[in-house]
Structure 1
Amino acid sequence: MAKISIKAILRKEDTLRLWLDNWCTHNKTEICISDPSGKVVYGNPDLLHNSLSIPLITGDAIVARVWSKSNVLNQVWDVLNMLITKESEKRKLGAEVLHLYQELNIIYGFAESLGEAISTHAIAEITLAHSTNSIPADAGIITLWDEQDKTLGVPAVSGDDLFDSELMAKNTAFLLQIGHTGQSGIITDIEEIKKLGLVASKVTSLIYATLKGKDRILGAIVLAGTQLDQFTAAHLKLLVTLALQSSSAIESALLFEKNLTEIKMREEAMQRINEVIKKFVPNEFISSLGKENITDVRLGDQVEKIVTVLFTDIRDFTTLSEQMSPEENFRFVSSFNEILGPIIRQHNGFINQYLGDSIMAIFPNRPEDAVLASVEMQRAVRTLNWQRAEQGLPIINAGIGMHTGPLIMGITGDEHRLDAATISDTVNTASRIESLTKYYQSPLLLSGDTVKSIPDTSNLTFRRLGKVLLKGKNNVLSVVECMNGLQENISFRRRENLGDFDMAMELYQQRQFENAITLFNKVLKSDPEDNTVKVFLKNAKRYLTEGAPKNWNGAEEMLYK
């Protein structure tokens, strides 16, 4: 993972420099920010090395230093540290997702290669080739036990000359030590194995996985390394997965001519692998491409459809996560996803991505499916909060946003690495609408395009929140709030006040701020908890006092993404 650059963060966070300038002005002081090499990326270079400095650290590396003679320097450090932590978490998540897809690609490619092999020698060579290509080993060997002849064979060897194949074939004790235990693992104490002459003296560690048949041990995959700590638990996990697939292929090959049922077992094993992969690439995605199975897709397959894209996100997740250990964090996010995932699928949608504390879902049929799913999701979160309250845990707030428009779903990448991709501005717009739930203090927002695409809205209650100009966009976007998922008493008050609210919004957009303020106050008097009204009331008062922005057409301009 590339190092985090303070210079890049300053460039990426558009308002950060303005905030730093305002902070220095407010505190009547100067600061200097330097990168790890000492190069100044912000502020007065004269402060370098002759004033107080605080390092910004992520992992075990210093990302930057903040210099100042002020004793309130920690305020700047806190903001920068928050941004650096956010960037680090984003990169870590991206690296984890990339690693997962790479591992799935290895497994899928391996399964496809095995499907073309029949003999045990061919299977062993394919298995060893994939193992040594995927795991950083200096040499590898596969041992197979011949049950009929009671002999140990070595059908495949690769890499440096670190194994003595002849001695290994004669020394069944090695297979008994590694293979016949039925276990898999990493060995760093290999002095006894060296004494037997089975491996070269410069070998420092071995990693092995047992090849298990239906009711017996077939052999083992053994890889050798010449460096300390060359193999990790992740390498072992991958090797065990490859061994599992290879074992099925070997056993089928051994018994192919004697028992046709073994061929069926092998096909079933392949089917299980495909089913696992479908959990990472939704079957609905494959169906949208006109394919029945993931094995049918090819590079360049694509389809354009009008869909509704939904994003949901846990509010203030960073604050919540700080109170939990990494394991508790993982369990919390997993349990949250386990609640919302089935609701999305029950309403004819599918999850395109789990993004840590947020979900991206696609509803390919009707936009009302997405709305009804969102309503049910709000109720599910409310039920979860009742349970959390009984346990003394903080409640969860989630924002949901959606947009309807064209989207291309397809298979991108190259001949060795495929990925399921969605390409469309519809995705970006849906994500932006979800982020607006924080600004408008509303749990569920839709674009006007989504509302227009719903033929019958008689069972849904909407409040039109006017238009916004999203950062980086040229066209304004209508934003609509759906109130069906609110608690019954809250939803009732919002419906009762809908006429006054709509009239207030009309006056607000016509710059009749004084009259709009009167109606907004009337709504708040009836419903003091209506935070969305408070947003418009605050804006109306500001515009009444300071005047509306030049060329203001009623659209709120968002200065952040």
Structure 2
Amino acid sequence: MAKISIKAILRKEDTLRLWLDNWCTHNKTEVCISDPSGKVVYGNPDLLHDSLSIPLITGDAIVARVWSKSNVLNQVWDVLNMLITKESEKRKLGAEVLHLYQELNIIYGFAESLGEAISTQAIAEITLAHSTNSIPADAGIITLWEEKEKTLAVPAVTGEQLFDLDLLAKNTSFLFQIVLNGQSGIITDIEAIKKLGLVAPNVTNLIYASLKGKDQIMGAIVLAGTRSEPFTAAHLKLLVTLALQSSSAIESALLFEKNLTEIRMREEAMQRINEVIKKFVPNEFISSLGKKNITDVRLGDQVEKIVTVLFTDIRDFTTLSERMSPEENFRFVSSFNEILGPIIREHKGFINQYLGDSIMAIFPNRPQDAVLASIGMQRAVRTLNRQRKEQGLPLINAGIGMHTGPLIMGITGDEHRLDAATISDTVNTASRIESLTKYYQSPLLMSEDTVKRIPNNSNLAFRRLGKVLLKGKNNALSVVECMNGLQESISTKRKENLEDFDKAMELYQQRKFENAIALFNKVLDSDPEDHTVKVFLKNAEKYLNQGAPKNWNGAEEMLYK
């Protein structure tokens, strides 16, 4: 606050000079008023040398001196002293109003800044910034009590390096004393704290304010100063105000973070559940229903699509299983499925069901995906057989059959038990084709409906095996063999003989059995291991000797499913 000037008072108080003039006239005397430097601001300067003087004092400073030879000098002094006191009170009141305005402005700006922060660290940094800008501190920290870990965390630090955070972390007794006591205060005797090395040697005093939530002490704001002037009660009052606002914001942020953590944990738990469920109900099945997660499906949800259904089965599994215990059986089937499952997924298919020693898979995109997966499965089985041979175990043969057609995928059951179901004759037909691999002694068969949907440039080689009439069916089904999955030497030989085989099949279906037999034998002479040709040769010889069945149209009638 600026010093009071007697000259300013005389200029400001218009009637004061007139009153002094009248008083001097009435009392037949003279008065001189000088400022602290001795400069005369009213009256006769000669009075400074041989007159009495009385000082006018406010606080610890002399504002003016009143000089006069009259013994009634006190009357002038009383009037001037009253005016000076009045001016001092006005200035003090103005300073207080200004200080309050500044505090309100600080608090308003602080609240505005807090409104933009949502994390405890951001709130702590904003709090420290406003605290050190408003209070003459050289450094500051905010410390928070971590209830779960039972430790004190320091989310924000500002200013000079006056706090040793490493030592504070090891020696928390000081922080516990000022953080968890719920009080606020000023510490001027800090020699003990310095000896512990918690603060720098040039720190002169500390000021702190607790951060209080509704039901707990959350932490504290701690500021350090290096100046000779200590922190004041006004500083403490402002820091407590900032701490109250900060506490509310931190409490809200902690609650928000807790809610976010709980939501994240629930989402992670749900994600883990969905990941587990996907292993039982394929995600592709859920996606086909237009859903994102298993939790979205409802009883009766369904969709019809054109898909390729694939079945694979371990040949003569009953004979194999008789040599193994139930546990060995389970491990054998599981290891077999572990080999084939990734190949199916790699080619954009998904396993709809594990059926003991069989697998049912669905390929929702392209039929060639199913064929390429089958070729990969045949190669994997050959690799497995090499390992089994080295171990002295019996070799495995697997048959694969597939068919392309409409399929309904949907959720069936009741309100207490739901199941992912596939309903279509396409599934039944694919299963029947797989069973034909035993009859034709061919590892990979498919329907003509599947082949028709495969582009000509697919680099796949097929042999058409004619038509079959499946048991319970009225229409014959055209069966096709894919040769790409065979060993390269065998596949090459089959492709070389394909023209003779196709001609033999044409003669066979035209009932020209003798000519067909000749071509079948020619193929066998070139490839004695072509067991599929042997099937047709045997039938042709039987029909040549015994005659073909009545109304035979080239389709083989299957009397079993």
Q: TM-score range by the shorter chain?
A: 0.5 to 0.7
Q: CA RMSD in A?
A: 1.7
Give the equivalent residue in structure 2 for 1:197: none
Mapping of residues 256-335 of structure 1, within 5 Å? 259-260=258-259, 261-335=261-335
Other structure's SS at 1:365 match: coil
| Cα deviations by residue, 1:401-450 (Å, 9 ceiling, x for unpaired) | 00000000011112221111100000000000000000000000010100
Give the equivalent residue in structure 2 for 1:357: 357
**Which residue identity does 1:266 align to in structure 2?**
R
What CA distance in whole angstroms lies between the structure 2 residues aligned with 1:443 and 1:362? 19
Other structure's SS at 2:403 match: strand
Mapping of residues 533-548 of structure 1, within 5 Å? 533-548=533-548
Q: Is the Cα contact below 8 Å between 1:507 and 1:516 reproduced in 2?
A: yes
Give the equivalent residue in structure 2 for 1:550: 550
When residues 516 and 258 of structure 1 are mapped into structure 2, their CA distance, relative to the original with a 3 A threshold, is closer
Q: CA shift at 1:256, angstroms? A: 8.6
What CA distance in whole angstroms lies between the structure 2 residues aligned with 1:414 and 1:505? 51
Q: Give aligned-pair identity as a percent.
A: 88
Other structure's SS at 2:393 match: coil
**TM-score of the superposition, structure 1-length normalised?**
0.54
Q: CA shift at 1:272, angstroms? A: 1.2
Q: How many pairs align? A: 309
What CA distance in whole angstroms lies between the structure 2 residues aligned with 1:490 and 1:465? 18
| Cα deviations by residue, 1:12-60 (Å, 9 ceiling, x for unpaired) | xxxxxxxxxxxxxxxxxxxxxxxxxxxxxxxxxxxxxxxxxxxxxxxxx
When residues 323 and 257 of structure 1 are mapped into structure 2, their CA distance, relative to the original with a 3 A threshold, is same
Other structure's SS at 2:258 match: coil
What CA distance in whole angstroms lies between the structure 1 residues aligned with 2:411 and 2:514? 55
Correspondence 1:500 to 2:492: no
**Which residue identity does 2:264 align to in structure 1?**
K
When residues 343 and 258 of structure 1 are mapped into structure 2, their CA distance, relative to the original with a 3 A threshold, is closer
| Cα deviations by residue, 1:112-144 (Å, 9 ceiling, x for unpaired) | xxxxxxxxxxxxxxxxxxxxxxxxxxxxxxxxx
**Which residue identity does 1:302 align to in structure 2?**
Q
**TM-score of the superposition, structure 2-length normalised?**
0.54
**Which residue identity does 1:259 align to in structure 2?**
K
Give the equivalent residue in structure 2 for 1:532: 532
Q: CA shift at 1:267, angstroms? A: 3.2
Give the equivalent residue in structure 2 for 1:421: 421
User: Structure 2: which 5+ residue stretches go unaligned?
Assistant: 1-147, 149-253
Give the equivalent residue in structure 2 for 1:473: 473
**Which residue identity does 2:522 align to in structure 1?**
K
**Which residue identity does 1:290 align to in structure 2?**
G
Other structure's SS at 1:259 match: helix
What CA distance in whole angstroms lies between the structure 2 residues aligned with 1:408 and 1:296? 18
What CA distance in whole angstroms lies between the structure 1 residues aligned with 2:406 and 2:417? 26
What CA distance in whole angstroms lies between the structure 1 residues aligned with 2:324 and 2:473? 38
**Which residue identity does 2:305 align to in structure 1?**
K
**Which residue identity does 2:446 align to in structure 1?**
L
Other structure's SS at 1:473 match: coil
**Which residue identity does 1:297 align to in structure 2?**
V
What CA distance in whole angstroms lies between the structure 1 residues aligned with 2:347 and 2:258? 45
**Which residue identity does 2:276 align to in structure 1?**
V
What CA distance in whole angstroms lies between the structure 2 residues aligned with 1:307 and 1:259? 47
Q: CA shift at 1:457, angstroms? A: 4.7
What CA distance in whole angstroms lies between the structure 1 residues aligned with 2:295 and 2:273? 11
Give the equivalent residue in structure 1 for 2:216: none
**Which residue identity does 2:258 align to in structure 1?**
N
Other structure's SS at 2:430 match: helix
What CA distance in whole angstroms lies between the structure 2 residues aligned with 1:443 and 1:538? 19
Other structure's SS at 2:277 match: helix
Correspondence 1:375 to 2:375: yes
| Cα deviations by residue, 1:73-130 (Å, 9 ceiling, x for unpaired) | xxxxxxxxxxxxxxxxxxxxxxxxxxxxxxxxxxxxxxxxxxxxxxxxxxxxxxxxxx
What CA distance in whole angstroms lies between the structure 1 residues aligned with 2:407 and 2:457? 24
**Which residue identity does 1:558 align to in structure 2?**
M
What CA distance in whole angstroms lies between the structure 1 residues aligned with 2:425 and 2:412? 17
Give the equivalent residue in structure 2 for 1:337: 337
Give the equivalent residue in structure 2 for 1:394: 394
| Cα deviations by residue, 1:345-398 (Å, 9 ceiling, x for unpaired) | 110100000001000000000000000110111001001101111111111000
**Which residue identity does 1:481 align to in structure 2?**
E
Mapping of residues 433-448 of structure 1, within 5 Å? 433-448=433-448
What CA distance in whole angstroms lies between the structure 2 residues aligned with 1:444 and 1:263? 50
**Which residue identity does 1:360 align to in structure 2?**
M
Mapping of residues 142-291 of structure 1, within 5 Å? 259-260=258-259, 261-291=261-291
Give the equivalent residue in structure 2 for 1:405: 405
Query: Which structure has the larger Rg?
Result: 2
Q: Is the Cα contact below 8 Å between 1:442 and 1:481 reproduced in 2?
A: yes
When residues 418 and 458 of structure 1 are mapped into structure 2, their CA distance, relative to the original with a 3 A threshold, is closer
What CA distance in whole angstroms lies between the structure 1 residues aligned with 2:387 and 2:553? 45
**Which residue identity does 2:267 align to in structure 1?**
E
User: Structure 1: which 5+ residue stretches go unaligned?
Assistant: 1-147, 149-254
Other structure's SS at 2:456 match: coil
Q: CA shift at 1:455, angstroms? A: 2.1
What CA distance in whole angstroms lies between the structure 1 residues aligned with 2:372 and 2:275? 29
Q: CA shift at 1:458, angstroms? A: 4.7
Q: Is the Cα contact below 8 Å between 1:256 and 1:262 reproduced in 2?
A: no
What CA distance in whole angstroms lies between the structure 2 residues aligned with 1:369 and 1:258? 47
Q: CA shift at 1:262, angstroms? A: 3.7
Q: CA shift at 1:266, angstroms? A: 3.3
Other structure's SS at 1:420 match: strand
Give the equivalent residue in structure 1 for 2:171: none
